[in-house]
């Protein structure tokens, strides 16, 4: 089955992604709204099905239990999935981003304790670093504190936003302030004593992504729960993959909007020209992203990655706007089943994924 909305720019998809599983497109609207029908996957099915299809180990070394390759293989998977369902792609990003945080840990015992279950999909990976990353940028105070307790750690506070907090079991990667003032990255398993997930049921979309706030009260964490002693110094190790894979969400969604616009009928004038220009810019940004990830340049020069992420978010907005113009009143009618309303909601989510566009633009300004 060919990819729906496959972009004109070349995507180096692994063979397993020559056809995105049919259930992804069939479940897109239901997963976006967090409902289940006889023809759609349940939210709890998404991660096991991604594991079964071979997505989780892409770009993880074979020695660590993965499928080999590099991060651009996982990026291609995000792009492909996002052409059909941002919810599914977002769940995959959360799992793969969590794997990157764990795999980059210098603590061998911490890595070995987490990787197998995350790679198999037996445990969901929930990246809960939103607050910590915003805190490093001076945008908000830290909300989780770590204190020493019987040779281990006690964690108290709140993670205001994390994704993939599956009721069946998840590992959240969160930042917590140590007694000396530094911020460490912990991996904490849930559900567990003192850790309570509070689902974000009021979201306008992506409701099947198991997005929740987490409340922590006297949560016990042993020494092997510390993945990175200092978040600021660890960021260069996993930030390129973490943000680079987020860029795949924009690439796939913008591509889907362009494909839907072209399918709406013969186009001419400004809309046709706009679609051509948007597609060219997406191809250019994708090439730039691939080069930066493969060369390792983003580890020491994150500003270039920030600019790509920002530019892609604006291209998503443009592509969604062009889809609306191409479809006209038909796009605004749910009965047509075009998926426009879902993609419009998905496009609204792109700027607020942590790090948000506001945060990235603020950091870029500070680097000038």
Calculate mean pLDDT across residues 161-170.
93
Tokens of 334: 């749910």
Tokens of 64: 């660590």
pLDDT of residue 336: 66
pLDDT of residue 12: 41
pLDDT at 10 over 80: no
pLDDT at 65 over 70: yes
**C-alpha to C-alpha distance for 175 and 347, rounded to whole angstroms:** 28
User: Band of the pLDDT at 11, cuts 50, 70, 90?
Assistant: very low
Find out whether 103 and 64 touch, Cβ atoms under 8 Å.
yes
Among residues of the chain, what percentage have pLDDT more than 70? 94
Nearest-10 crossing angle of helices 269-295, 231-263: 150
In angstroms, how far apart are the furthest CA atoms of the chain? 70
Tens of pLDDT, residues 202-220: 899 999 999 999 999 999 9
Q: CB neighbours (10 Å) of residue 311?
A: 17
Find out whether 360 and 309 touch, Cβ atoms under 8 Å.
yes
Find out whether 110 and 224 touch, Cβ atoms under 8 Å.
yes
**Average pLDDT value over all residues in the chain:** 90
Calculate mean pLDDT across residues 76-102.
96
pLDDT at 295 over 80: yes
As a 3-state breakdown, the chain gives helix, strand, coil percent values, each rounded to 5, of: 55, 15, 30
pLDDT at 15 over 80: no
**C-alpha to C-alpha distance for 269 and 14, rounded to whole angstroms:** 37
Tens of pLDDT, residues 217-271: 999 999 899 999 999 999 999 999 999 999 999 999 999 999 999 998 888 799 9
pLDDT of residue 287: 94
Tens of pLDDT, residues 17-52: 456 999 999 999 999 998 887 778 899 999 999 999
Residue whose structure tokens are 């796939």:
252
Tokens of 68: 């080999």
* Helix boundaries (H) for the chain: 22-33, 46-52, 71-82, 86-103, 108-120, 130-136, 231-263, 269-295, 297-300, 302-327, 340-349, 357-367
Q: Pick the more confident residue, 295 or 40.
A: 295
Q: What angle do CA 181, 182, 185 make, to 5 degrees?
A: 135
């Amino acid at each position: 089955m060919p990819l729906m909305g496959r972009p004109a720019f070349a995507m180096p998809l692994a063979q397993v992604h020559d056809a995105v599983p049919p259930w992804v497109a069939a479940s897109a609207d239901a997963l976006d709204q967090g409902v289940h029908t006889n023809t759609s996957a349940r939210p709890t099915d998404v991660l096991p099905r991604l594991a079964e299809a071979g997505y989780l180990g892409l770009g993880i070394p074979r020695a660590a239990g993965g499928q080999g390759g590099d991060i651009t293989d996982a990026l291609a998977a995000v792009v492909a999935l996002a052409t059909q369902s941002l919810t599914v792609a977002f769940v995959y990003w959360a799992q793969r981003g969590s794997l990157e945080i764990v795999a980059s840990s210098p603590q061998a015992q911490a890595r070995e304790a987490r990787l197998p279950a995350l790679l198999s999909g037996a445990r969901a990976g929930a990246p809960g670093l939103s607050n910590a990353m915003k805190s490093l940028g001076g945008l908000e105070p830290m909300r989780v504190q770590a204190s020493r307790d019987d040779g281990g750690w006690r964690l108290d506070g709140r993670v205001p936003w994390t994704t993939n907090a599956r009721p069946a079991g998840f590992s959240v990667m969160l930042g917590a302030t140590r007694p000396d003032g530094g911020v460490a990255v912990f991996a904490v398993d849930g559900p567990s004593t003192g850790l309570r997930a509070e689902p974000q049921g009021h979201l306008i979309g992506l409701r099947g992504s198991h997005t929740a706030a987490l409340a922590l009260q006297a949560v016990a964490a042993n020494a092997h729960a510390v993945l990175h002693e200092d978040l600021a110094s660890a960021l260069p190790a996993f930030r390129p993959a973490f943000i680079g894979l987020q860029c795949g969400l924009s690439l796939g969604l913008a591509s889907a909007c362009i494909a839907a616009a072209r399918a709406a009928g013969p186009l001419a004038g400004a809309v046709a020209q706009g679609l051509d220009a948007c597609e060219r810019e997406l191809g250019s940004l994708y090439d730039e992203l691939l080069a930066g990830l493969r060369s390792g340049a983003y580890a020491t020069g994150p500003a270039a990655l920030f600019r790509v992420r920002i530019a892609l978010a604006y291209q998503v907005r443009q592509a969604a706007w062009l889809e609306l113009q191409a479809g006209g009143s038909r796009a605004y009618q749910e009965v047509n089943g075009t998926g426009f309303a879902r993609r419009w909601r998905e496009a609204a989510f792109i700027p607020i994924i942590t790090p948000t566009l506001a945060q990235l633009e603020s950091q870029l300004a500070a680097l000038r």
